[in-house]
Amino acid sequence: MSADLSVILFWLFSGLIIWVLDRYVHFSFKHLFAFAAILLLIVGMVFRLPLWYSDPLALMVLGLSVSALQLSSYLSGTPRHSGRLYSILLITAALLTQWLRQDPMQVPIWHGMLVLTGLSALYMLLDRIIEDLHPWITPLEALLWGVSLILYWIGRQQDLAPTLVVIPWLMSLILIQYRRWRLTHWPAPLFTILAVLTTILLGHGLLALPPDLVVVEFVQRALILAFIALAGLLALWLRVLPAAFFMYYLSQEALLSLGIIPIMAHDLSRELMFWRLLFYLTINALFVMAEAHEFEPLDLKRIKGLARFRPRIAFAMTFYMVVLACEPLIIGHLHPDSGFWLVLLHMALGLVLAIKWAWPMLQVPEQDYVYLRPSLSTWVLVVFIMFIVLAYALNRLILLFIG
């Protein structure tokens, strides 16, 4: 049995066991399932022995572990805080590992459609558990889901870019979320999981591309640019901070991983992928911290005056947003040729977005508002940083012993 298949089965059966055990544990203790899920994710990654820290599997373990921490704090002490949330994360990890076993363009079409269908079902089930609703999908959601799979099939038939065929599916999840939450609030932890799916499914196509110049056909380039422009405009238009910044992250991911900017070295692109996800996870953890109660939108009214009450959190939030926007230039060593000015324009968009949300933090709040979740402020970022250090140290030791 291959290492990949062993990891898939390990996470799959672990998730099913946690799902069954969930009904026998009082909700006040179910946050312990989060730590169990993190431990199982790390064990599975160690079994596979990733060769370095930006391995896609390491990225997935990192993102889903932080998702478990954020979900644990976001709904801590409520009946909705269920061990099934972490069961879904483990099963999601198994499906993503199945997707990563081969180049997505080389596997049969039915295989890709089956994986995307499973991820869709798990994500929508996770959403329903958080919202405390019946898990069945609506006809509109089923229609969007079906259309995205048809577009995926067409993209595979036309031999489009490996990651371009995933965009319709990803957009279907976003549209379903917008409809469900009516643009008023999208639980911040869900953005962490969406970012992991985005980075793995889009970024894996970049890892499969050759390290030299990648020629993108005119139609594909036009579609990619339209997607980037749409996501960028949504980032500026949306009035909820976590949603706005995720759309910026999504547009940046498309810009850097879909062949528009083919001027970075192959190894450097992997490193950039890792640090971008790391910065985004940190930013979203800060967003979760700033939401005092679940399902309350972190809009301009809520963010107003944050710098006066929690200056360190406000500074960290602004700093990471600026760094994420400028990171392609800081790490990428871009050459002033293909796509250089497009990257600069996108960086300017990120800086405008950061200023748009940083300015209200400096103003006087209109009403008293309690910022920060006490549990998050004391341990989420601490555990997050400890996990990064631990994962990196283990990886260095593995490299040392395997020579």
Tens-digit pLDDT profile for residues 22-40: 888 877 777 788 889 998 9
Given a cut of 70, is residue 379 above it in pLDDT? no
Residues 149-175: pLDDT tens digits? 888 888 777 777 666 778 888 888 888
Q: What is the pLDDT, as a whole number, of residue 90?
A: 94
Given a cut of 60, is residue 335 above it in pLDDT? no
Angle (CA) 135-143-201 rounded to 5° is 80
Q: What is the pLDDT, as a whole number, of residue 13?
A: 93
Measured CA to CA, the distance from residue 8 to residue 20 in angstroms comes to 19
Query: Which tokens sit at 209?
Result: 């591309």
pTM of the model: 0.83
Measured CA to CA, the distance from residue 244 to residue 86 in angstroms comes to 26
Percent of the chain with pLDDT over 90: 7
Q: Over range 217-234, report the average pLDDT.
A: 75
Given a cut of 50, is residue 12 above it in pLDDT? yes
Confidence class for position 11, pLDDT limits 50, 70, 90: very high
Mean pLDDT of the chain: 76
> Are 58 and 45 contacting, i.e. CB atoms less than 8 angstroms apart?
yes
